[in-house]
Amino acid sequence: MTTPAQVTAKIQEIAQPPPPGSPYALPVPGTERDGRTPIYRHWKFQDKPLLGTLDPEVRTFYDVFEYSLKHFPNNRCLGTRPWNPTTKSWESKYAWKTYAEVAARAKNFGSGVFELHRRIGIPPGNHGVGLWSQNRAEWQIADIGLITQSLFSVSLYETLGPDTSEFIIKHAELSCVVASLPHIPLLLALAPRIPQLKLIICMDSLDAGEQAGYSKRSILNAIAEQNGVQVWSMDEVEALGAQAAHPPRPPRPEDVITINYTSGTTGDPKGVVLTHANCVAGITSARSAGNYSHRDTNISYLPVAHIFGRLIDQTALAEGASIGYFHGDMLELVDDLKILKPTGFPSVPRLFNRFNMGIRAQTIEADGVRGALSRRVIDTKLANMKLPPGQAYNTHLLYDRIWTPKVRAAVGLDRCRSMVSGSAQLDPEVQKFLRAAFGNNFASGYGLTESYASTSCQANGDFSTGNNGPPLPSIEVCLESQPDLDYLVTDKPRPRGELLLRGNSIFLGYYKNEEETTKTLEADGWFHTGDIAEFDELGRIRIIDRKKNVLKLSQGEYISPERIENVYMGSSNLIAMAYVHGEGTQSSLVAIFGVDPVSFAPFASKIIKQDIAPEDIGAVKSAAKDPRVVKAVLKHLDDIGKKHKFNGYERVKNCVLDVEPFSIENELLTPTLKLKRPQTARKFRSEIDRMYTEINEEASKIKPKL
């Protein structure tokens, strides 16, 4: 087995950047196809096999954790802030479990689940077990424990409603769900409709010193038994496992590690089947940047039900590093950061946007000496980052002593050397500013559930923005022309088309959904992402559009704009035409609406207190531009959204009203009256920019809490 020193040396060799000005990714000669670019690979792997592992003996996540356990048994592994029942508050410290302690608990838990399965007649095999909670140490212990018995986990999102939860449990054929206490009442309510559900394991104590017959265990089991379900606590399962002492049944690389259900923007969610080999390849790519070691500390708050959050934690465990869990309240995340002081901070654009607004308000937008000094610091660093490749930098000998530490400390990132943004597009201006403000490595990456969250990431020392870096060492990529959307691989100056991926981290398929699998996954392994991208002159990937009419906002939420449009048009007599628009750098939706003059005229007349005749199109158009009318329409649409149970991010926050904004004549509708979305976005670009400016200006009036 390779030693940690040898692994580190290999990582450092891979992380070495190309010569200044040279490409980060290179085309593989002879791989051109009609309608496609050549295959591009990480510059170190142009003519080598794609990377799957850093150690030939580490081929599953079981191997990954066993490796860290062997070399770092006494390292801090999982940490949580204890709850103080006396003060009814979270303590200002972390309590830690070592790798050896976590391994012992995980082994016992896996043995206990195996024993419970045996008792209810489930034979040994690669079965799924549900995990349903916020990020917490018990989630990770349960996941590792399942892996010791070749079981796999199926994550249920913390905020799932009953319908989606029921669908996933049924679809994945789960007999056992491990959940935090707040989710158990819903599981018991669903139990009559899920006959295969036999076991519920609670991550929290079911006794806590309560009187016999009055404990949570007694009450929950009394309800559960009516539906043939047993409720156990995690502690009980671990004790049972220690007594049964079933030996580990290590998985194989081709075994499933998780079925990760996508959020399901149209219809039911899809179950993405991922293997241990996919997991190890994803971890290997994440480690290849060379940003972490066994001395590092990460904070776990991005949902582990999402593959990005899961990969972050698994990468830390592969390094032998420490994971501290947030205490569950996103509004108080900075409190956790200030106590934990992580050395790495993977996050999403929404939080980086929040940091950006707060730091700007207290630095470059401040009055007096503080504002003047801050502007000098940022301007100097921004200028230095514009220097040619190989010469650019974002550190400063003086400013990083007298200014930068205070900025970092304000958000608990005093020790943070590396940050990465994933899950959605990062605003280039935010990336520039935070690179200057923090003076650390801040990269933007790109990944999907289907690629185990690892596709591309900016390299250390690359101070460019507006791209997601080159393909990682486990992946190869190409573009395929999309003539219907006017994106061609022959476009100049850069090839454009749908981004296709192939490699060691690409999923097996969608669980029990051959139709969707066949649509997106070719027989030779190419996965069609649905994202439209371009390659720049240095081989970096830039996402520019979506092939399907599904988009992702800056907080990482997927939106189906057509569904929202159809609800608005079907529920309002005011709206005759609709185009709902979202962007990866924004957290909200805007829209262009065509109004029905017959219904709109009397509605607007009441608002502006002036009679408008429906046939007076000029007057109708004028009223549609009145801010009072726009505000009233947005309120009307918000009521519709609430009625249809839209999430907050699915509600349109600003809009333009017109009589007939789209037509065949202005080339925004097809002859069959279908909306041309890319052309509509281009046509209304200035209006879209104005609407987002208004939204952001309104948001900036609310002083952000750091």
d(CA 311, CA 323): 12
Percentage of the chain modeled with pLDDT above 70: 96
Given 216, 251, 286, which residue is the final one in a domain? 251
Per-residue confidence (pLDDT) for residue 701, from 0 to 100: 75
Helix extents (H) in 331-427 = 333-340, 349-362, 368-385, 399-402, 404-410
CA angle 605, 610, 616 (to 5 degrees): 75
Say which residues have a Cβ less than 8 Å from residue 148's Cβ, sequence separation at least 6. 62, 106, 107, 110, 111, 248, 249, 250
Per-residue confidence (pLDDT) for residue 211, from 0 to 100: 67
Is residue 694 situated within a structural domain? yes
Encode 183-235 in three state secondary structure: HHHHHHHHHHHCCCCCEEEECCCCCCCCCCCCCHHHHHHHHHHHHCCEEEEHH
Provide mean pLDDT across the span 654-675: 81
Provide mean pLDDT across the span 264-289: 88
Give the residue among 451, 426, 461, 457 at the shortest CA–CA distance from 540.
457
Say which residues have a Cβ less than 8 Å from residue 629's Cβ, sequence separation at least 6. 603, 604, 607, 608, 623, 657
d(CA 53, CA 672): 51
Per-residue confidence (pLDDT) for residue 672, from 0 to 100: 45
d(CA 256, CA 273): 7
Give the residue among 520, 450, 512 at the shortest CA–CA distance from 307.
450
Given 219, 235, 251, which residue is the final one in a domain? 251
Which pair of tokens denotes residue 602? Answer: 């009397």
Given 223, 251, 279, which residue is the final one in a domain? 251
Mean model confidence pLDDT for the chain: 92
Per-residue confidence (pLDDT) for residue 535, from 0 to 100: 97
Q: In this predicted model, what pLDDT tens digit does every residue of 388-417 receive, in sequence order? A: 999 999 999 999 999 999 999 999 999 999
Q: What's the total number of domains in the chain?
A: 2
Is residue 86 situated within a structural domain? yes
Domain residue limits at 185: 61-251
Per-residue confidence (pLDDT) for residue 263, from 0 to 100: 60
Confidence of residue 571 (pLDDT cuts 50, 70, 90): confident
d(CA 452, CA 514): 20
d(CA 213, CA 230): 16
Least confident of 40-54, 144-158, 185-199, 542-556: 542-556
d(CA 321, CA 314): 10
Helix (H, G, I), strand (E, B) or coil at 344: strand
Is residue 279 situated within a structural domain? no
Provide mean pLDDT across the span 310-323: 98
d(CA 380, CA 394): 9
Which pair of tokens denotes residue 541? Answer: 């990937």
Which pair of tokens denotes residue 431? Answer: 């990336």
Which pair of tokens denotes residue 520? Answer: 């997106």
Per-residue confidence (pLDDT) for residue 266, from 0 to 100: 46
Which CATH number characterizes residue 618's domain?
Answer: 3.30.300.30
Provide mean pLDDT across the span 198-206: 95
Which pair of tokens denotes residue 506? Answer: 């690409």
Is residue 15 situated within a structural domain? no
Per-residue confidence (pLDDT) for residue 703, from 0 to 100: 56
Provide mean pLDDT across the span 540-558: 82
Helix extents (H) in 439-513 = none
Asked if 585 and 554 touch (Cβ cutoff 8 Å), the reply is yes
Going by the DSSP 8-state scheme, the letter that residue 564 receives in this structure is: H
Least confident of 181-190, 218-227, 358-367: 218-227
Is 80 exceeded by the pLDDT of residue 674?
A: no
Least confident of 408-412, 438-442, 446-450, 670-674: 670-674
Q: In this predicted model, what pLDDT tens digit does every residue of 680-704 receive, in sequence order? A: 999 999 999 999 999 998 887 765 5
Helix (H, G, I), strand (E, B) or coil at 659: coil
Per-residue confidence (pLDDT) for residue 508, from 0 to 100: 98
Task: Judge if the upstream peptide bond of residue 303 is cis by omega within 30 degrees of 0.
Answer: no
Q: In this predicted model, what pLDDT tens digit does every residue of 448-470 receive, in sequence order? A: 999 999 999 999 999 999 999 99
Per-residue confidence (pLDDT) for residue 671, from 0 to 100: 47
Is 80 exceeded by the pLDDT of residue 664?
A: no
Q: In this predicted model, what pLDDT tens digit does every residue of 257-274 receive, in sequence order? A: 999 998 644 457 899 999
Asked if 232 and 120 touch (Cβ cutoff 8 Å), the reply is no
Which CATH number characterizes residue 107's domain?
Answer: 3.40.50.12780
Is residue 610 situated within a structural domain? yes
Provide mean pLDDT across the span 482-508: 94
| Position with higher pLDDT, 592 vs 268 | 592
Sheet containing 418-421: order of strands: 344-347, 418-421, 441-446, 456-457
Confidence of residue 598 (pLDDT cuts 50, 70, 90): confident
d(CA 39, CA 27): 5
Is residue 188 situated within a structural domain? yes
Identify the bridge partners of residue 225 per DSSP, sorted by sequence position. Answer: none
Torsion of CA 270, 275, 277, 281, to 10 degrees: 30
Q: In this predicted model, what pLDDT tens digit does every residue of 120-177 receive, in sequence order? A: 999 888 899 999 999 999 999 999 999 999 999 999 987 666 888 899 999 999 999 9
Q: Which amino acid is at 682?
A: R
Provide mean pLDDT across the span 579-588: 92
Asked if 559 and 553 touch (Cβ cutoff 8 Å), the reply is yes
d(CA 520, CA 373): 52
Confidence of residue 42 (pLDDT cuts 50, 70, 90): very high
Helix (H, G, I), strand (E, B) or coil at 347: strand
Give pTM, 2 decimals: 0.82
Provide mean pLDDT across the span 659-676: 77
Is residue 343 situated within a structural domain? no
**Number of Cβ within a 10 Å radius of residue 83:** 12
- Left, alpha or beta for 656 (phi > 0: left; psi -120 to 50: alpha)? beta
Torsion of CA 7, 458, 517, 276, to 10 degrees: 20
Least confident of 159-168, 596-605, 650-659: 159-168
Is 80 exceeded by the pLDDT of residue 293?
A: yes
Is residue 257 situated within a structural domain? no
Phi, psi of 446 (to 5 degrees): -145, 135
Per-residue confidence (pLDDT) for residue 645, from 0 to 100: 85
Confidence of residue 547 (pLDDT cuts 50, 70, 90): confident
Per-residue confidence (pLDDT) for residue 265, from 0 to 100: 41
